[in-house]
Structure 1
């Protein structure tokens, strides 16, 4: 009788865990979009938020914590990620009062009417550590995150995660995925960051662009990475990691899993992944091959289908795991510097029309 009761309790507990996992997947697999504003021809915030609602966007990531935009978002059911500017990090790290002030001004003024769910402290902080100032900001990152989180927690708010977006240039090696390692010069910065994110059950957010990996491979090697493989379009093209035996059918999974293995080498093998930015440029200079509307539409639609699937697909190293994902970006931003691709990632023209056909919710897009 006792064994039967134990078995029954185990089954009930297992069912409960499955229900939690399914509910979490349904809630958290809504696709997001990055709303950047480095353009002099963009629509006003009110029109932009109206367009977000028309697109049925689940999440939006802001590169600041603009009051007008946060007020406008209070009239929606869109989950919001806000950003602490890079130049605010050291001050907040050194002064709890500044952290309290930032949280009161940018979160408590708007929460809970505005569904703030993520606070991203800085943007790609570990990508630039060559100057003394940059290195100091990088060292202040975790202390600033801790102060922001402490203030949020003190207010009794439990549904806002604090994290920071990291670029793939933090990686020393990404291929094969199981060989993934961080650059030696940022190892001392990664360990406390991973410890903090793991301790607060937050996500490690990545800016991950198969386009750049693919285009670089084409420049270095005339054959390079297969385009369909980079576009998540591959059917017959696969890669088997020789060390793990895991089979990959797209470059995005390879890149994500390289970070998974890099973290595991530092003792963190169960970190939650998030994608802060991913996308494909729809236009570029003559030497920027592959930057066109057809490829951009293919990549972004495939990412949406993959990341919004129920049940979640995850990656080969993390099967079945939901990965919160933000597509880059809402608009082209004509005031960005650099090659033409830098200014041509948008899903929408400034007048609100689509640059190419995009199904951001994956409704009506058949699964593979």
Structure 2
């Protein structure tokens, strides 16, 4: 029996051997005027992208990837997962329609079933997702086996939100709602099928939520700071390793010791809202360059808990995507602008010396901004989309836009942009404490310049 863990480990290492030193990229398409799939794949080849993760199984993209050396992870979206998990027939249909036509000419290595299914506690809206995850994973794996396809790993993608405790790493534990139910069953599936667990791991979020107690150098993987875990005695030189090992410790507490991890998404935003500390080009370039250097070292470092292991790693993302909802950082994770030009210099092979890069613009927002902030129409917005947005915002609360009524303090000038600036600032300032963000489906951004230019009293937020 003692040989089984060694046999499992050797088989898994062999199956991941072709991932060594190959940095991956997330290829999302939630943006205006992005390069075509054909052009995007040419760009990836020129950047020497080793792996690409798709948010679906787009047939055009999979066809275009045929014959390239780029390894591929495809995703079964949550809505498809529910259907597939309801009946094995649908799993077979998915494999026949979304996998078989492209494999093996397209080097599909992972099928990621669902995205972030376990990131939130179960409620009435998520019961179908929870109930479908494992049946869908099993159904797709069974169908692949029936087609004699056994070197493709079936797994899912989770975030650090699945953990209840993360620090120090040796205290890592899964949330109580999943630790005794779905996690053991899912880990048993991954263990039996020699698969890996994909995780979104973003040190940026951990640092920006607690910048006083976490060194930015530690978060940026500079390697110039050490921390010792008092529970395990392991010594850490960066936050990424701490986050990964906290998951490994949590997995071991459930009884599994051979589950390997992959990073489905990591990176650092190059810009964001004014109240989003540390989102700048300097930090983004520093993090991703250090990440690439770390993940392409020979021999591989692994983590303090799992030294020398292969960790497939996908950087978020290929492009800035202006249609992504949420805070401003969501639209600025790209290595490239939407037009395909670099946000900053990057070498995905890890062979370029740090000293060979051109100087970066200084990091000017590593300390929290203090002062007034307004919410205004973003300069790239087409005005035709504003009237309905203003109507929606003003319709939520009849006091939000009272000053815009004819004869009101801010009614003039009668301009859709003027009225939108007031409506967005008014609503955001009133409901920010309840979670409202200055986005309005990508139509707005934060500003430190009063959009009214003093002509009337626009509501603001004081940071």
5 Å-filtered alignment, 1:216-231, equals: 216-218=209-211, 223-231=212-220
Distance 1:362 1:72 in 2: 26
CA contact (8 A) 1:74 1:114 kept: yes
Q: Which of 306, 319, 327 is 1:331 aligned to?
A: 319
Q: Which of 179, 193, 201 is 1:208 aligned to?
A: 201
CA contact (8 A) 2:31 2:338 kept: no
CA, structure 1 residues 90+281, in 2 after alignment: closer, same or farther (shift >3 Å)?
same
5 Å-filtered alignment, 1:163-182, equals: 163-182=155-174
In terms of Rg, which structure is larger?
2
Structure 2's unaligned 5+ residue stretches are: 1-5, 356-463
1:89 deviation in Å?
1.5
CA contact (8 A) 1:29 1:323 kept: no
CA, structure 1 residues 96+26, in 2 after alignment: closer, same or farther (shift >3 Å)?
closer
5 Å-filtered alignment, 1:149-168, equals: 149-168=141-160
CA contact (8 A) 2:160 2:200 kept: yes
Count of aligned positions:
347
CA contact (8 A) 1:167 1:208 kept: yes
CA contact (8 A) 1:65 1:83 kept: yes
Q: CA RMSD of the aligned region, Å? A: 2.0
CA contact (8 A) 1:204 1:271 kept: yes
Q: Cα deviation per residue 1:103-146 (whole Å; 9 max; x = unaligned)?
A: 01111011111111100001111113443241221122011000
Distance 1:120 1:24 in 2: 16
Match of 1:98 in 2: 90
Structure 1's unaligned 5+ residue stretches are: 1-13
5 Å-filtered alignment, 1:141-152, equals: 141-152=133-144
Distance 1:118 1:329 in 2: 18
Distance 1:200 1:299 in 2: 33
Distance 2:117 2:342 in 1: 32
CA contact (8 A) 1:279 1:300 kept: yes
5 Å-filtered alignment, 1:258-277, equals: 258-277=246-265
Q: TM-score, normalised by structure 2?
A: 0.72
Large movers: runs of 4+ above 4 Å:
20-27
Distance 2:160 2:318 in 1: 22
Distance 1:45 1:319 in 2: 37
CA contact (8 A) 1:121 1:164 kept: yes
Task: With a CA cutoff of 8 Å and minimum separation of 6, indicate the structure with the bigger relative contact order.
Answer: 1
1:25 deviation in Å?
4.3
1:40 deviation in Å?
1.6
Match of 1:75 in 2: 67
Match of 1:296 in 2: 284
Match of 1:342 in 2: 330
Q: Which of 109, 120, 128 is 1:128 aligned to?
A: 120
CA contact (8 A) 2:23 2:312 kept: yes
Distance 2:88 2:306 in 1: 37
Distance 2:60 2:275 in 1: 40
CA contact (8 A) 1:25 1:312 kept: no
5 Å-filtered alignment, 1:239-250, equals: 239-250=227-238
Q: Which one has a larger percent helix, Structure 1 or Structure 2?
A: 1
1:22 deviation in Å?
8.7
